[in-house]
Amino acid sequence: MIPMNPLKESFLKYLGQTSPYPIGLEIDHAEGCFVFDPEGNKYYDLISGFSVSNTGHSNPEIIEAIKCQAEKYLHTMVYGEYIQAPQVEYAKALIDSLPQGSFEQVFFTNSGAEAVEGALKLAKRHTGRHELICFRNAYHGSTHGALSVMGSELYKTAFRPLLPSVRILDFNDFAQLNQISRDTAAVIVEPLQAEAGIIPPAPGFLKALREQCNAAGSLLLFDEIQTGFGRTGELFAFMHEKVIPDILILAKALGGGMPLGAFISSGKIMSAFTRDPVLGHLTTFGGHPVSCAAGLASFNIINRRQLAKESSQHEVFIRKNLQHPSILEIRGKGLMLAVVLDSGERVDRFFKLSLRQGLLFDYFLFCHNAIRVAPPLTISEKELSDLCKRIIQTLDLTETQPI
Ligand code: PLP
């Protein structure tokens, strides 16, 4: 029997695990669209840390911004008290890039789940209502509030009781929108459902959702944690349909590889946290100055290099070049794609083969018959061409791989 690598043994022994079958790849370093193991093997990153690494791994501009801020100061005080230039500058850059009038203030958090928690609380405070509406197969995070608005019982039941008054609707079902009522504080939705297997909204669905929220006086919350920062071919996915939410929730690529989340709204809505009582949402590390410096550097790269536009062009390339008899459909937008295969069993075979083929792959939470293709947006056309070839070769091998 081959002895287990001692670091892997310690990883399994000393770290709390999330499943009995972690990928277990040891990372040596990462650069651009590649991740390297200690043996020097390089892997195309098809996951990008679930849409974190939009500007590529180890981007020198981001590393420089991190170093520069780390030399000035790290943590000094809980969020919201001291004036920290990286937070202020990043908040202004975000607001300047969003439709004028609707978005005026950014509240920084540590993570996506914390941003979701903050946004749900803000909607309850602003409306004075308690009902929350979410969609089937939505994922908004793993803390109690965010878990309450997960659109699947699979990962929820064991943790009940969760938040009361949560209603789950079917995504893209116009007929169910009349369930949004004067009791509803907030409707939370991903404008392109990620973990459901990249499900785009039906034409007019987000608009109808907006209209129903307006009629009921409910706030519309867009979770753009995976869809943001150029991934879908626009800076933010809501820009495809020009449907503007009341609260925009961000994380993942927001921090340029550092932990950071945020929710963004009008000054009027945001002010609900400052009174009756004050301190409506408190966070020690929210908007950490190093994370904000890294995030702003990454945001500048996305805008300067027009990575949203590039992501759309890459989508066209993939649709043209990624063809195989086992592929039924390619769903999604930009570099947020689900390559739907003819069976979940084939996806399992692909998963087993992927590391040996130099591909880093991971499943969707709620869709078992598709491969996630979401590399860093900085991937070159040459790399993309090689990546498509490798996916096709791996799909060829799935014909003979035993299960
Ligand atoms: N919302 C969406 C759409 C996500 O994909 C995720 C994480 O995968 C979250 C929320 C939660 O973010 P975090 O893991 O930073 O708490």
Lowest mean pLDDT among 1-5, 53-57, 190-194: 1-5
Q: Are 208 and 288 members of one domain?
A: yes
Residue 77 forms part of a structural domain = yes
Give me the residues paired with residue 263 across strands. 107, 249
Token readout for 332 is 């999604």
Q: Are 262 and 352 members of one domain?
A: no
Residue 204 forms part of a structural domain = yes
DSSP letters along 163-214, please?
-SSEEEE-TT-GGGGGG--TTEEEEEE-SSBSTTTSBPPPTTHHHHHHHHHH
Q: Are 179 and 314 members of one domain?
A: no
pLDDT band at 160 (very low <50, low <70, confident <90, very high): very high
Q: What is the CATH number of the domain that holds 264?
A: 3.40.640.10
Give 308-325 pLDDT, tens digit per residue: 999 999 999 999 999 999
Interval between CA 188 and ligand 1 midpoint (Å): 13
pLDDT band at 3 (very low <50, low <70, confident <90, very high): confident
Give 101-151 pLDDT, tens digit per residue: 999 999 999 999 999 999 999 999 999 999 999 999 999 999 999 999 999
Q: Are 84 and 183 members of one domain?
A: yes
The closest-lying atom of ligand 1 relative to the alpha carbon of residue 195 is: 5
pLDDT at 204 over 70: yes
- Number of folded domains in the chain? 2
Helix (H, G, I), strand (E, B) or coil at 303: helix
- The pLDDT value given to residue 400: 86
Residue 273 forms part of a structural domain = yes
Q: What is the CATH number of the domain that holds 332?
A: 3.90.1150.10
Q: Are 201 and 176 members of one domain?
A: yes
Q: Are 54 and 65 members of one domain?
A: no
Q: Are 247 and 364 members of one domain?
A: no
- Give the whole-angstrom CA distance, residue 274 versus residue 266: 14
- The pLDDT value given to residue 403: 58
Q: Which one of 304, 336, 360 terminates a domain?
A: 304
Q: Is residue 298 lining ligand 1, measured as CB closer than 6 Å?
A: no
Give 287-296 pLDDT, tens digit per residue: 999 999 999 9
Average pLDDT value over all residues in the chain: 97
Q: Which one of 279, 304, 329 terminates a domain?
A: 304
- The pLDDT value given to residue 52: 98
Q: Are 255 and 377 members of one domain?
A: no
Q: Are 292 and 318 members of one domain?
A: no
In the chain, what percentage of residues exceed pLDDT 90?
Answer: 97
Q: Are 65 and 204 members of one domain?
A: yes
Interval between CA 224 and ligand 1 midpoint (Å): 9
Give 45-92 pLDDT, tens digit per residue: 999 999 999 999 999 999 999 999 999 999 999 999 999 999 999 999
The closest-lying atom of ligand 1 relative to the alpha carbon of residue 190 is: 3
Best residue among 188, 252, 258, 363 to mutate for probing ligand 1's pocket (most ligand atoms within 8 Å of CB) is 252
Q: b or e along 280-295 (b: 16 or more beta carbons within 10 Å of the residue's beta carbon)?
A: bbebebbbbbbbbbbb
Residue 1 forms part of a structural domain = no
pTM over 0.95: yes
Q: Are 48 and 71 members of one domain?
A: no
* Domain with 169 in it: 60-304
Looking at residues 257-261, what average pLDDT do you find? 98
Q: Which one of 283, 304, 325 terminates a domain?
A: 304
- Give the whole-angstrom CA distance, residue 297 versus residue 198: 28
